[in-house]
Amino acid sequence: MTTIERTIGTVRGMATRKVTFSLDQTALELAETAARRAGLSTSAWLSAAARREAVRQGAGTDWGHPAVDAATDDADHAAAEAEVRATG
């Protein structure tokens, strides 16, 4: 497992692919607000949210460990939320 460096709005060390999705207006606004509060780009937030939801529903991958990945995502989210709250 490699170390993942996290900077505001970016997750490094993870392969990304540009894709197009359609979201209803409310879902988009909620995601943008949540991403802003977490100090992430909307894309990074949606990626983490999709990963968490897939793991929660039992989807696995051929790499990594789903429970560890979900816990790491939750820890990253909590840290970002704490940073945002500390800055006002």
Higher pLDDT pick, 48 / 15:
48
Q: Has residue 33 been placed in a domain?
A: no
Higher pLDDT pick, 67 / 52:
52
Q: Has residue 84 been placed in a domain?
A: yes
**Which residue range is the domain that position 75 belongs to?**
43-88
Q: Has residue 36 been placed in a domain?
A: no
Total domains in the fold of the chain: 1
Q: Is the pLDDT reported for residue 49 higher than 80? A: yes
pLDDT of residue 6: 45
Long-range Cβ contact pairs of 3-12 (< 8 A, separation 24 or more): 6/76, 8/39, 8/40, 8/80, 9/39, 9/40, 9/41, 9/44, 10/41, 10/44, 11/44, 11/47, 11/48
pLDDT of residue 58: 73
Q: Has residue 47 been placed in a domain?
A: yes
Q: Has residue 26 been placed in a domain?
A: no
Q: Has residue 35 been placed in a domain?
A: no
If pLDDT is split at 50, 70 and 90, which confidence band does 9 have? very low
